[in-house]
């Protein structure tokens, strides 16, 4: 199935969708852009959330999703906004998508070493996974190992203070950047 067909399936039934297939189809589609968030829109969204402007935050969140529908954090924020607005149907819709995408990343490995690294389609997924697991980033290192590219993150658990090392395979986004270096049509995030 194509990325668009899989995306349509997610939108129709986010609970039973194949998020691994969706993520991989996205990477191989013309729509794939592993850029980080649009910082300006994220700032607008965060400020709107800070002051309780749920509608303003929702507009910004939708802009992020229009740019990249597989943006896990944007779905998590949409879930929060709709939950706060007592719109349970939309909250559950975005929660299911966020959970499906998170589970798809977690299913790629355990993050313990280079051979069992979590496979991400953009580096923002790394921070979402840390957050979901209850960790805060302390240090990040880019590593090339056996012809593959990794981000190695040292993190600390928010409650216990335990430190842990997480390894993320970034072959997909880094490979895209290498292939598109110097493209004049690439937008800056």
| CATH number attached to the domain at 3-106 | 1.25.40
In the structure, what pLDDT confidence band is assigned to residue 188 with cuts at 50, 70 and 90?
Answer: very low
Percent of the chain with pLDDT over 90: 89
Higher pLDDT, 69 or 185: 69
63 Cβ neighbours under 8 A, 6+ residues apart: 38, 41
- Is the pLDDT at 185 greater than 90? The verdict is no
In the structure, what pLDDT confidence band is assigned to residue 21 with cuts at 50, 70 and 90?
Answer: very high
* 44-68 core/surface letters (b: 16 or more CB in 10 A; e: else): bbeebbeeeebebbbebbebbbebb
- Is the pLDDT at 133 greater than 90? The verdict is yes
Is there a contact between 129 and 117 (Cβ–Cβ < 8 Å)?
no
39 Cβ neighbours under 8 A, 6+ residues apart: 189
Mean predicted confidence (pLDDT) in 56-61: 97
CA dihedral (26, 32, 36, 42) positive or negative: negative
Q: For position 36, what pLDDT does the model report?
A: 64
In the structure, what pLDDT confidence band is assigned to residue 187 with cuts at 50, 70 and 90?
Answer: very low
pTM score of the predicted model: 0.92
Q: Using CA atoms of 21, 180, 62, 24 in order, give the dihedral in degrees to the nearest 10.
A: 0
Q: Where are the domains of the chain?
A: 3-106, 114-179
Q: For position 100, what pLDDT does the model report?
A: 98
Residue-wise pLDDT tens digits, 72-112: 999 999 999 999 999 999 999 999 999 999 999 999 999 99
Give one DSSP letter per residue of 2-38, joined into a string: -HHHHHHHHHH-SSS--HHHHHHHHHTSTT---PPP-
- Is the pLDDT at 181 greater than 60? The verdict is yes
- Is the pLDDT at 28 greater than 70? The verdict is yes
Write down the mean pLDDT value for the chain.
94
**Residue 180 main-chain phi, psi, to 5 deg:** -105, 15
- Is the pLDDT at 184 greater than 80? The verdict is no
Our measurement of the distance from residue 19's CA atom to the centroid of its chain's CA atoms, rounded to an integer in Å, reads 12
In the structure, what pLDDT confidence band is assigned to residue 37 with cuts at 50, 70 and 90?
Answer: low
Q: For position 8, what pLDDT does the model report?
A: 96
- Is the pLDDT at 189 greater than 70? The verdict is no
Three-state DSSP at 97 gives helix
């Amino acid at each position: 199935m194509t990325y668009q067909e899989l995306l349509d399936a997610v939108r129709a039934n986010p609970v039973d969708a194949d998020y691994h297939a969706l993520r991989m189809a996205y990477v191989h589609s013309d729509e794939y852009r592993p850029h980080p968030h649009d910082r300006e829109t994220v700032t607008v969204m965060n400020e709107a959330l800070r002051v309780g402007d749920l509608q303003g935050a929702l507009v910004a969140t939708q802009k992020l999703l229009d740019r990249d529908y597989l943006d896990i954090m944007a779905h998590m924020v949409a879930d929060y906004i709709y939950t706060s607005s007592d719109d349970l149907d939309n909250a559950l819709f975005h929660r299911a998508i966020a959970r499906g995408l998170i589970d798809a990343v977690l299913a790629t490995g355990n993050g313990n070493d280079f051979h069992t690294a979590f496979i991400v389609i953009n580096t923002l997924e790394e921070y979402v996974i840390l957050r979901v697991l209850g960790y805060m980033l302390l240090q990040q290192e880019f590593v090339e190992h056996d012809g593959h590219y990794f981000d190695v993150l040292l993190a600390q658990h928010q409650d216990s203070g335990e430190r842990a090392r997480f390894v993320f395979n970034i072959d997909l986004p880094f490979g895209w950047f290498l292939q598109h270096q110097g493209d004049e049509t690439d937008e800056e995030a």
